[in-house]
Every structure is written in C-alpha cells, then in structure tokens.
Structure 1
Amino acid sequence: MALKHARLLEVIDLHASDEERGTSMSSSLLKTDRLQLMQVVLPAGAGLPEHHVAGEITIQCLVGEAKVVTPRQTCQLAVGQLVALPGGEPHAVQAIRDSTLLVTVLRESS
C-alpha cells in the first residue's frame, strides 16, 4: 500500500494519531520533487544507524531528547532545537528519551 503524503498547501497535523494520518509511527509526511518531510519516532535507547542523504537536511526535536552523531561532532537536541546537516554528511541518530523528530530533506532535482 502506498504511503499517504500530504500535498502542497495541505495542513499537516503533527499531533494527529497514526490512525488519523494513515501511517506508521515513523512516517513520510510530504514528498515532492525537491522536498521531503518525515516524522521519526524513536523510543529511548533506539536509533537510526549511520547513513547519509544527498541533499541538505534539518533534524528538529519535537518531543524528548536525541543526539545526532556525525564524523565532525555530536549534537544533542532538546525540544525546540534543530540542527542542519550538509548534503552527503554521514550521520546517526540516537534517542536519549522517547523522541519525535521532524526531518526535512532537500532533494536533488532530477
């Protein structure tokens, strides 16, 4: 089944339940040719292994506390904080407390 993505100019409720949004806990909220928004939900101690994406990204902490680890530095994010990473930057994410993150990816145009 295809993911239900919002369309441009459609309001996205970040507090909506999974049932209301029709997605799993971590989900892609919006995807266009040049932009992708993802909500990533991680329980304390869980994480995403090191990876990279081609475009620049931001990782914003909406709930909890998480750390973003790159070869250059480790950034600890609390509620209301975000970090921007250059395209291609290897990074891993680790939840210190139950966390919800909003990830914005600038996609390379095709």
Structure 2
Amino acid sequence: MALTHASSGQVVNLGALDGQATETCALLKARDIEIMWLVLPAGKQVPSHAVSTSMTLQCMRGKVEVQLDGNVKLLEADQVMYLAGGVPHGLLALEDARLLMTIVLPASRTD
C-alpha cells in the first residue's frame, strides 16, 4: 500500500492505519527523523542488523521477540524499547504484530 509521507502538522490515525496497511511502510521521512509502520505477521523474522543512529520500537499490537547480543527481550502491545545507534538487533513476531519504529537520522551538514 503506497502512502504519502505525512507533512508537518498532519495527524496520522494509527488505528485506521492498522486496518488499512497490510505491509510495512514509511509514514514520515524528514531531514532528522524517520517513522515506519512495521507489519509483522506471526512467525515473520527480521534478521539481525544495526541502525547507525538511535531508534525506538513501539509495539502497538501483538508480541515480538527482540534479539539483542544473544539475549531475547519480549516487546508487547503498549510497550516501547529504545535502542542506541549501532546495536545489532533482530525481530521475531510471536503473534501478528504492528510496531511504530522511529529512527533519528544523522544531522545533515549545512556548511
């Protein structure tokens, strides 16, 4: 589903999005931040990877295992997790899950 990125001041209804978006999509990408809607069906695995900047994962629905340095953390609906930049992590959806991922983008140089 192709969505237009939100603009400054625009309200995005996540409840409506949950029923409409059947796959992962970008909600917003600006110079300093990116927000993604992650759709993970039960059993879906996201291989371990790292993002160079800080990020949060907010579980809106379902349950997800987050693999961190050999440890497993459970992330459930109404919970949020912060990950520092460069931290390797993988995901495994234990149930159909919806997550809101916010990534802080590197500051762009203006000189």
- Common fold by TM > 0.5: yes
Structure 1: tracts of 5 or more residues without a match = none
Q: How does the TM-score come out when normalised to structure 2?
A: 0.86
Q: Which residue of 1 aligns with 2:100?
A: 102
Deviates more, 1:65-74 or 1:42-51: 65-74
Answer whether contact 1:47 1:95 (CA < 8 A) is retained. Answer: yes
Whichever residue aligns with residue 36 of structure 1, its letter is E
Find the partner of 2:48 among 47, 50, 60: 50
Q: Which residue of 1 aligns with 2:26?
A: 28
Answer whether contact 2:59 2:97 (CA < 8 A) is retained. Answer: yes
Q: Which residue of 2 aligns with 1:8?
A: 8
Number of paired residues?
107
Q: How does the TM-score come out when normalised to structure 1?
A: 0.87
Q: Which residue of 1 aligns with 2:86?
A: 88
Alignment of 1:41-80 (within 5 A): 41-71=39-69, 73-80=71-78
| Runs of 4 or more consecutive aligned structure 1 residues displaced over 4 Å after TM superposition | 17-20
